[in-house]
Amino acid sequence: MSYDQDFYAWTFHNATLLRQHRWQELDIDKIAEELESMGRSEKRELGHRLALLLMHLLKWQFQPNRQSHSWLYTIKEQRRAIRRLLKDSPSLQYQLDLIFNEAYEDSILMAVKETGMKESSFPVAVPYTLAQTLDDEFYPQ
């Protein structure tokens, strides 16, 4: 079973080999690559969800006359999803400050795209703490 020819079949074949303890037949290098890729995927998802959350907090603060239930529920949804991600992968906590700051850079670009405002309209540094960002009661004024 070849990784390059049929990834789906390869995954099930290697899972079967693992369950049968047939260690010598496993595609160890590719399995290691896939496991690392899965970890990076979790980190990317956390960054994306933080960026969405931060973008909506920026819109909430800088366009108060346009606040909507949709924004409110997107903020709530992203906070819950972030909590679940951190619960499922607690080691991401150790990188959370870095991911948070990188996500802010992305959130500015997203906010510019959605609002039509200039990039310079938004603070260069994150205007909220991580704790505020994740706090269900926090909505910037």
Q: Domain limits of the chain?
A: 41-134
Report d(CA 59, CA 65) in Å as an integer. 10
Determine how many CB atoms are found less than 10 A away from the CB of residue 91: 10
Q: At what angle do helices 28-62 and 7-19 cross, to 10 degrees?
A: 120
| Residue bearing tokens 């079973």 | 1
High-pLDDT (> 70) share of the chain, %: 99
Residue ranges in 1-141 assigned as alpha helix (H): 7-19, 28-62, 69-88, 96-115, 130-134
Report d(CA 92, CA 94) in Å as an integer. 5
Report d(CA 10, CA 16) in Å as an integer. 10
pLDDT in tens, 118-138: 999 999 999 999 999 999 999
Alpha-carbon distances of 68 from 15, 29, 75, 123, rounded to whole Å: 47, 49, 11, 22
Report d(CA 29, CA 44) in Å as an integer. 23
Chunked in runs of 10, what are the mean pLDDT values of the chain (141 residues)? 83 91 92 88 96 98 96 98 95 95 97 96 97 98 88
pTM of the model: 0.85
